[in-house]
Chain A
Amino acid sequence: MTRWGMAIDTDRCTGCGACVVACHAENNIQTVGEQEARNGRAMHWLRIERHYEGSFPDVKVRFTPVLCQHCAAAPCEPVCPVYATYRTPEGLNAMVYSRCIGTRYCANNCPYTVRVFNWHDGEWPEPLERQLNPDVSVRPAGVMEKCTFCVQRIQDAQDIAKDDDREVQDGEVKTACAQSCPARAIVFGDLEDLDSRVTQLARSERASQLLEDLGTHPSVFYLRGGE
């Protein structure tokens, strides 16, 4: 059985933001404009958190990309009144856009604040609508969304592997963020596969998780502590 997970090396992350842009492009995320972004309505499924460590002159900056943690015990799931969000057998926290009525309760119960809401319909003035990914739906106003671990890419790889009558290989599924990271800080794969790179990283001494004490059992591991 597959269980998708991710390992992010914050020692490698330079905070360049390529993953954020790639995610926007891959997933048809709307750009809300400067005014709305200032009002806290930016739609980034993945955000780069910037934390300063130490004090002058020994200041270090640590960049932490935060995305949906796809928690095994996700607090967002039980509170949705219409079952618009649930855990798939492969370990993804899935979002059913057509079922969402926009109570925003799930976003309020996410301790990582990774869910974003469509406050307005997205606008893609001509010819920008041509950049939309045909494998991903465009969400209307009033619907919640968040990182899906690029489920369309997972589905695609699984379809190809099935046609070839084989299993999906480690490294075959690359999420948009993992694919675009120049520092190769983001690694995506199957946590049930003991030989996969993500499992090895997740089991390393440098691995920890965000808000571990809340018991959400996230699928994302953060590596820090130097080489």
Chain B
Amino acid sequence: MKEEALVRPLSGFRPWLIVGTLVTGAIAGLLFFSWGYQIKNDIGVAGINRPVFWGFYITNFVFWIGISHAGTLISAILRVTSAEWRRPVTRCAEAITVFALSIGGLFPLIHLGRPWLFWFMIPLPNHRGLWPNFRSPLVWDMMAIGTYLTGSVLYLLLPLLPDMAILRDRALAETPQSPRARLFRLLAMGWRGTTQQWHSLEAGIKVMAVVIIPVAVSVHTIVSWDFSMTLQPMWHSTIFGPYFVVGAIYSGIAVLMLAMYLLRRGLGLQEYLSDKVFNNLGLLFVSFTIIWAYFTFAEHLTVWYGSEPSEMAVFWERVSGEYAPIFWGMIVVNVVIPLGVLPFPWGRKPLATAIVGLGVLVGMWIERFLIVVGTLRMPHLDFTVGTYQPSWVEMGVLVGSFGMFAMLYFLFVQFAPIVSIWEVREGDHIASSVPASAQSVGDEA
């Protein structure tokens, strides 16, 4: 088969992949151990207090939901604009979205004081007439994230059908009784590749691509409104909606660059996750650096100019106070380094973009932390100014969440091709049958 590199992880015994799954699985176990400890010993084992009622958990919530915007941008927007270079990238981006959303969606449960009562937020008809409060941004969160998760899973599974069919046919020919063959047959859902089926699939994917874009924008806008709907200093800001969406896409591209680099190295996918793809994504990446920097600058300039006392307390704490080192560190990794590296062709080579992506990942986590904890420490009535020290439980959950993401990815890579085989084939077909002068502009870097 031509795409040997893409199907190699899906059969046979791959020791490194299994070791990777087990190691990351152990780290993911830390998440559940810490959470279980917290449920048994009350929420007080976390470091949050008064007035810092939200800490690492909400930081992580916003962070992971933000990362989930990787898939939407790459898959949906590039599909809708017929950018051909997206073809090798869509599957791994869509996987990032589904896993990041699943992990992000855990955090609203983890941070609850009485998580076993989370179902109070679900509108279940009951004889007491008790409904959730639809005016609460947290209920909007549930609805938005639920919609986005459903949409993203569909958007991952639909284009998976033809690939599952390819794998099913290959497995039926070679190892018909293996568990994986059975899985492929199940997930292929009877795909035969008839013209009718292809039409339906293309239509379905087109609809999903168009629909998922406003859903994704609304999700992170609503998450940002958890903060901006309050009266807290430097939370009550009209810019948060678009600011968070831009930041989400930014962190999503960062994770994508890092993941793509690791996949390229780990699975030998240089032919598919090519230098050209990294180059194009790198250009997209640097444009988001500029947009993010613009929003950050606008937010801080207007706060500083207005000079409102309770907002200035939060502002100075960030710019020159206790959080200054991490604030300026964030500016370095989110603005200075990307702008110093990505505009140059050497800066858009795979390793360079992966390193910049890692920096942005750290920087965007810091941004969420500064927004959540930085404001809560400095309430309106400054007599109750606070401090925050995360406990081992919160650290364990944070580290465990990364382990869980990596473990889900390791598992995915062993059960589905991380580069979409049929889309790459379709792209090659288009490239070879259409004269070079008539190819879509998006193909050129």
Q: Which residues on A sit within 8 Å (CB–CB) of B380?
A: 111-113, 211, 214
Q: Does B121 contact A211, Cβ atoms closer than 8 Å?
A: no
Q: Does B386 contact A141, Cβ atoms closer than 8 Å?
A: no
Closest A residue to B111 using CB positions = A103
Closest B residue to A210 using CB positions = B381
A54 to B380, CA, bound (A): 22
Contact of B113 among A39, A78, A100, A112 (CB under 8 A): A100
Q: Which residues on B sit within 8 Å (CB–CB) of A78?
A: 133, 135-136
Q: Does B231 contact A214, Cβ atoms closer than 8 Å?
A: yes
The segment from A80-88, A159-167, A186-194 that touches chain B is A80-88
* Per-residue A-contact encoding for B130-145, CB less than 8 Å = 1, 0 else: 1111011111001000
Cβ < 8 Å to B, chain A residues 65-105: 66, 75, 78-83, 99-105
A27 to B359, CA, bound (A): 50
In angstroms, how far is the closest chain B Cβ from the Cβ of A130? 24
B42 on the A face (CB < 8 A): yes
Q: Does B114 contact A111, Cβ atoms closer than 8 Å?
A: no
Q: Which residues on B sit within 8 Å (CB–CB) of A100?
A: 113-114
With known contacts A39-B49, A41-B49, A116-B50, A108–B113 Cβ distance under 8 A: no
With known contacts A79-B138, A82-B121, A101-B118, A117–B113 Cβ distance under 8 A: yes
A36 to B46, CA, bound (A): 12
Contact-size category for A: 35 or more
A115 to B118, CA, bound (A): 21
The segment from A9-17, A118-126, A197-205 that touches chain B is A118-126
Contact of A81 among B51, B54, B121, B231 (CB under 8 A): B121
In angstroms, how far is the closest chain A Cβ from the Cβ of B183? 38
Q: Which residues on A sit within 8 Å (CB–CB) of B387?
A: 40
Q: Does A143 contact B114, Cβ atoms closer than 8 Å?
A: yes
In angstroms, how far is the closest chain A Cβ from the Cβ of B239? 19
Q: Does A49 contact B381, Cβ atoms closer than 8 Å?
A: yes
Q: Which residues on B sit within 8 Å (CB–CB) of A83?
A: 130-133
A116 to B51, CA, bound (A): 9
In angstroms, how far is the closest chain A Cβ from the Cβ of B356? 34
Q: Does B112 contact A79, Cβ atoms closer than 8 Å?
A: no
Q: Does A101 contact B117, Cβ atoms closer than 8 Å?
A: yes
With known contacts A101-B113, A103-B112, A80–B136 Cβ distance under 8 A: yes
Q: Does B139 contact A81, Cβ atoms closer than 8 Å?
A: yes
Q: Does B49 contact A142, Cβ atoms closer than 8 Å?
A: no
Q: Which residues on B sit within 8 Å (CB–CB) of A39?
A: 47, 49, 389
With known contacts A82-B132, A113-B50, A142–B138 Cβ distance under 8 A: no
B230 on the A face (CB < 8 A): yes
Q: Which residues on B sit within 8 Å (CB–CB) of A101?
A: 112-115, 117-118, 120-121
A118 to B142, CA, bound (A): 25
In angstroms, how far is the closest chain B Cβ from the Cβ of A200? 27
A-B contact pairs, 6 of them (CB 8 A): A40-B386, A41-B49, A78-B135, A82-B132, A99-B120, A111-B232
On A, residues with C-beta under 8 Å from B are 36, 39-42, 47, 49-51, 66, 75, 78-83, 99-105, 107-109, 111-113, 115-121, 140-144, 210-211, 214
